[in-house]
Structures are given as C-alpha cells and as structure tokens.
Structure 1
C-alpha cells in the first residue's frame, strides 16, 4: 500500500533577539521546498525562544522576546509561538525541546482520536487548529535551522553524540543553507550525519538574505534604520522600551 506524504511541524529554536523577517522567511522557504519534494506536508510551525539562562551576550529578557515574537507572528496563519522553553527552571537542550513538542502533539492526536480532551489549553496554544480539530497522525516535529547550526555539530564539546543522534535520527532536520555554502560536504565528513542523511533536508535560499540579529542590534545601537528588516510593530516595541541600546522613537 502506498504511503501518503509525511505530516511535518517545523520547530525553530534560538534567541530571536530580536525576531527578524528572515526568521519568518525560513518557515516559508522550508515549507515550499518540502511541498515540492512531494513526500511531506507541512501542517504547522513553532517558534521556541531560548531561556534567559542561555546567557548569550545582549540577550534581552524572555518577556520582551516573547512579546516581540507575538507581534511578528500576528498575521501569520500557520506558525505559532511556544513559550514552554522560557518557562522552564533553566536552559534546555534542543533535543528536550523537540521531544516535549513531539510528545504534546502526540497527546493531542491521541485525544482527538479517542474523543476526549483534557490537555491544558495554555500548554498547547502553539498547536495549529487543524491538528486540534481532528487531524489524523502521525505528525513529525522536525528542527528547522540555518546552515550554521548544522556546522556547529562539528564543534568539539558543543553537542553530545547522543543529542545529535536523537535530533537527526529521531526527529530530522530541515537546513536553510546559504547559496555559497556546502552542507553536503559537511555531512559527508561526519559519520554520524551520513548515517542519518535521509533525515536531513537541505534547502538552498537562492534569494540572498543576510539579515542577522547581531547586525540589527548593532544598527539599533547606532540609531540606524532597521525598517524592512524587522516587522514594524517589533521596531516600535524596541524603541518604546529602548532595547538593544536604541534611542530612536520612530521607524
């Protein structure tokens, strides 16, 4: 019997400090590519901002980052915000974040199947309505990331082999690669990644877009315009609360 396309929810982890238009574009680029392959249907997306305890330089508190992400996603019809990671006692490993969201989706699918629903609504408000309203499973949560995260798997001591095996082997990753990088060579040079190559989808971003949160923070610090790099509501919020050393009171 021929199997249908795999249903996928894309999960993006990161600081989102601040959330940029490129963060949002990643979801669109990935969905288009997966649908073109014909073997996947993207049924939702999740933005999961990192805990304050991650300790990254210039990291604004989660309350600000969550508010900015909500503003950025205001008109988005298939990507939602999950603040679970931010609510934990400390920083979580990426594999834990993936597993939590996979387990939650599985629980909702099982309850829909059995016509009973006792999951706390606040815990699952990031789940697309289609899934809550009787979408049939299974649904696979895949990590959506940039090529830099893939290459960080090769940084000694940064990731454990168990984490990489779980992330790539159990869930799978969708990598948005810059047009001048070579992720396939990086995968080839790693026995672990080569082993799970069928779970890695490489998507090349042909419309070059080098927006980075680091450069945006620098521009804000220098009172330079960041219009069209961030959603307007996010820019207004940043100026209202003088985030990232910004002083400007207009877009």
Structure 2
C-alpha cells in the first residue's frame, strides 16, 4: 500500500525534514507501506497560539528547509484560509486533491471517467507527535466525530516523545482503542532532544543555531528579525 504522510501543524522549519524522513523509515521498516510523498501544512494565523509567527514566514521557512527534498512538499492551503480550519477538514481537502491527481479509468457509459483504479489509490495519514495524541483526551478540544474520522478513514503515524505514553493514551480512549490497528507508533531511529522550542529560545537569547537549522532558514530569520522576542513561535 502507498500512503502519503501528512503533517498538519509545524510552527517552525527546524524539524520538518527530520520528522518526515525518520518516520518514513519507520513505516517502511514495518514492511507494509511504500511512502510516496509527504505534505507539510503550516497552520493558519488564526489558530490562536500566542506568539505564532505569521504564516507567510512559516511557509517560506518550510520551503527553504525543504528546497533539496524531492518528496516532501509545503502546501499553503491551510494557512491561506480566512479562518483556522479544523484538522479533519484539512485532511479531507488533501485527500480530495490526492484523488483528483490520480489516473481515472473509463466508465461503462461511452468511455466517461468512472473512478480511480483501486490499486492506484494511496492512503493519506496524519503524522503527529505523542503530545498531539494526548490532546485527544482533553475535554472539549476535539470533537469525537472528528477523532473517529481521522483514525478510521485516514489513520495516524504517531512519533513517541520523551515523557509521553502513546500506548496508554490509546488504551485510555474508547475511540482510539477501537481503531488502534490504524495507529502506527514510531520511534525516531536517532533520538534528538533538541526541540523547536529550544531553538526558538536560543534565537531569542541571541545564541547561535548554526547546524541546527539550514543556513537558508537562518538567513531568512535574520533578514526578517524573527524569534527575537521571547514567546514568538
């Protein structure tokens, strides 16, 4: 099967490539998937997170970080909407776009198109960290119908993180437990505790982030004076 990995909210570009690449490796090692592409979807400015850097900058930095990648793309659709768009709706959009891009077979009515050949339809999965999986348990944060659609229709690739218990989160949620076969837990082959939060803090302190970010991204941050103030994300 050929799922596309989909990541919905990355507020900075420092871990874009590492997250997608390492967890693609994890999926391939399961022997069940051939990963054919990745989508980075920066969140909308109206997401409501304090200090969130403008979407145009986050999109630009992600593109700079991925300019040498031949399989991960940055899609600005979510960031360009008038208002914040719920995760499940973003997944629906990308799934629709994915179907539109597929070759269609001829239908029985005078050769009109019918539908994509079943073998040609890849799966679309949401790539997230264990911290996101934990938020599924936060009252009134997610709609149960949205959680069910995400895990039933699309599926999750969840990256384990220090201090989290993704297996426990799954067992603690009736919905996640019901569809646990569609939730793939992955560990990064090389553990790296340098987080986006740390890099933003270092930038705010005027410290060097050389070798932690691509040079093009560092140059962009300096040019636009980003992350110079505490609390910017």
Q: What 5-or-longer segments of structure 2 have no aligned partner?
A: 107-116
Matched, 1:108 2:107: no
**What is aligned with 1:52?**
45
Which aligned pairs between 1:1-251 and structure 2 lie closer than 5 A?
Answer: 6-14=1-9, 16-20=10-14, 22-111=15-104, 113=105, 137-178=120-161, 181-245=164-228
Residue 181 of structure 1, CA deviation: 3.5
Q: Provide Cα deviations, 1:153-203, integer angstroms capped at 9, x if missing partner.
A: 111111110110011111000011126632112211111101000100000
Alignment partners' CA distance in 1, 2:31 and 2:190: 22
Within 2, Cα distance between the matches of 1:35 and 1:206? Answer: 12
Bigger shift: residues 97-106 or 201-210:
201-210
Partners of 1:212 and 1:155 in 2: how far apart?
A: 23
Q: Deviations over 1:117-174 (max 9, x none)?
A: xxxxxxxxxxxxxxxxx9x611111000111011111111111101100111110000
SS of residue matched to 1:142: strand
Q: Confirm or deny: 8 A CA contact 2:26 2:187 kept in the other structure.
A: no
C-alpha displacement of 1:107: 1.3
* RMSD between aligned residues: 1.9
CA distance in 2, matches of 1:25, 1:81: 15
Provide, for residues 21-44 of structure 1, a one-character-per-residue CA deviation record: whole Å limited to 9, x for no partner: x33211112111111111111010
The SS at the match of 1:43 is coil
* Partner Cα separation in structure 1 for residue 8 and residue 203 of structure 2: 23
Partner of 2:125, secondary structure, is strand
- In structure 1, what is the Cα distance between the partners aligned to 2:163 and 2:77? 35
Conservation of the 8 A alpha-carbon contact between 2:160 and 2:187? yes
SS in 2 for 1:49: coil
Aligned residues: 219
Which stretches in structure 1 are left out of the alignment for 5+ residues? 1-5, 115-133, 247-251
TM-score normalised by structure 1 residue count: 0.82
Cα distance in 2 for partners of 1:63, 1:99 equals 23
Q: Which residue of structure 1 lines up, in the alignment, with residue 112 of structure 2?
A: none
Q: Please say if residues 176 and 203 of structure 1, whose CA atoms lie closer than 8 Å, have aligned partners that are also in contact.
A: yes
